[in-house]
């Protein structure tokens, strides 16, 4: 029986990190496609007028904002480090992910033709910070065990590699991390599925 509902459009976007977490941890969930009559049936019911929304079917609680959703799952599903320094590591990587994802989304939806080259150029600086931290921390995941933030980073790196196939070439530690995440058995199987391959990366066909 499903434990959660994910209400979102049929695209990767801001729902994919949550899907990765569910799939990797074998958590049964159902998708509700908010693309069917979005403006009439869904938008008015969303706390901030936007999707995604997560419903916890065990207690009826509803969470909006993709980063809050995945943190909630982190806490509820044992994917948030108990140690405060380890927790701070995953938090800081999540905040840095948002510092990349925000400009990525704006480039995709508002300035693709004129902005993509500059966005790709900006990645070198932004990714080298993660490379340096990962080298210093020396763990297989952001913290010593997999956490909610690793699914967020996997999804971000997917987006970036699609935009620029060579963007990880100068960052061997980050590249090895990306390959390690993508080859986790449940994720690998899902990423090879037709369901995943046919899912658009963004809502406007740009990537
Ligand atoms: N900060 C929000 C952003 C959500 C967002 O931008 N949602 C878009 C789709 S990805 C949306 O609902 N667009 C339709 C609308 O605003 O009416 C989050 O992280 O969840």
pLDDT digits (tens, 9 = 90+) for 46-60: 999 999 999 999 999
Q: Please work out whether the CB of residue 13 comes within 6 Å of at least one atom of ligand 1.
A: yes
Which of 6, 10, 12, 14, when mutated, tests ligand 1's pocket best, judged by the most ligand atoms within 8 Å of its CB? 14
Residues with Cβ within 8 Å of 19's Cβ and at least 6 positions away in sequence, in order, are: 6
Q: What is the DSSP letter of 91?
A: H
- What pLDDT shows up at residue 72? 98
- What pLDDT shows up at residue 133? 98
Residues with Cβ within 8 Å of 177's Cβ and at least 6 positions away in sequence, in order, are: 134, 140, 141, 153
- What pLDDT shows up at residue 100? 98
Q: Please work out whether the CB of residue 14 comes within 6 Å of at least one atom of ligand 1.
A: yes
Q: Please work out whether the CB of residue 43 comes within 6 Å of at least one atom of ligand 1.
A: yes
- What pLDDT shows up at residue 36? 93
> H or E segment at 94?
helix 84-110
Residues with Cβ within 8 Å of 18's Cβ and at least 6 positions away in sequence, in order, are: 6, 52, 54, 66, 69, 70, 73, 151
**Closest residue to atom 2 of ligand 1, CA basis:** 65
Q: Which domains does the chain have, with CATH numbers?
A: 4-79+189-197 (3.40.30.10), 84-184 (1.20.1050.10)
Q: Which residues of the chain have pLDDT under 70?
A: none
- What pLDDT shows up at residue 154? 99
- What pLDDT shows up at residue 19? 98
- What pLDDT shows up at residue 150? 99
**ipTM entry:** 0.99
């Amino acid at each position: 029986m499903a434990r959660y509902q994910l209400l979102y459009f049929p695209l990767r976007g801001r729902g994919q990190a949550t899907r990765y977490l569910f799939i990797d941890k074998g958590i049964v969930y159902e998708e509700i496609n908010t693309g069917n009559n979005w403006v009439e049936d869904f938008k008015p019911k969303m706390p901030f007028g936007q999707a995604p929304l997560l419903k916890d079917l065990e207690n009826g609680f509803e969470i909006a904002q993709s980063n809050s959703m995945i943190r909630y799952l982190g806490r509820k599903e044992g994917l948030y480090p108990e140690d405060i320094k380890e927790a701070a590591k995953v938090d800081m990587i999540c905040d840095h992910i948002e510092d990349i994802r925000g400009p990525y989304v704006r480039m995709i939806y508002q300035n693709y033709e004129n902005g993509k080259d500059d966005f790709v150029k900006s990645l070198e600086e932004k990714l080298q910070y993660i490379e340096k931290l990962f080298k210093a921390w020396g763990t297989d995941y952001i913290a010593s065990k997999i956490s909610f933030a690793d699914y967020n980073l996997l999804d971000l790196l997917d987006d970036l590699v699609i935009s620029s196939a060579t963007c990880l070439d100068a960052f061997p530690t980050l590249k090895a991390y990306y390959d390690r995440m993508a080859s986790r058995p449940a994720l690998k199987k899902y990423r090879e599925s037709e369901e995943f391959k046919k899912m658009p990366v963004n809502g406007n066909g740009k990537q």
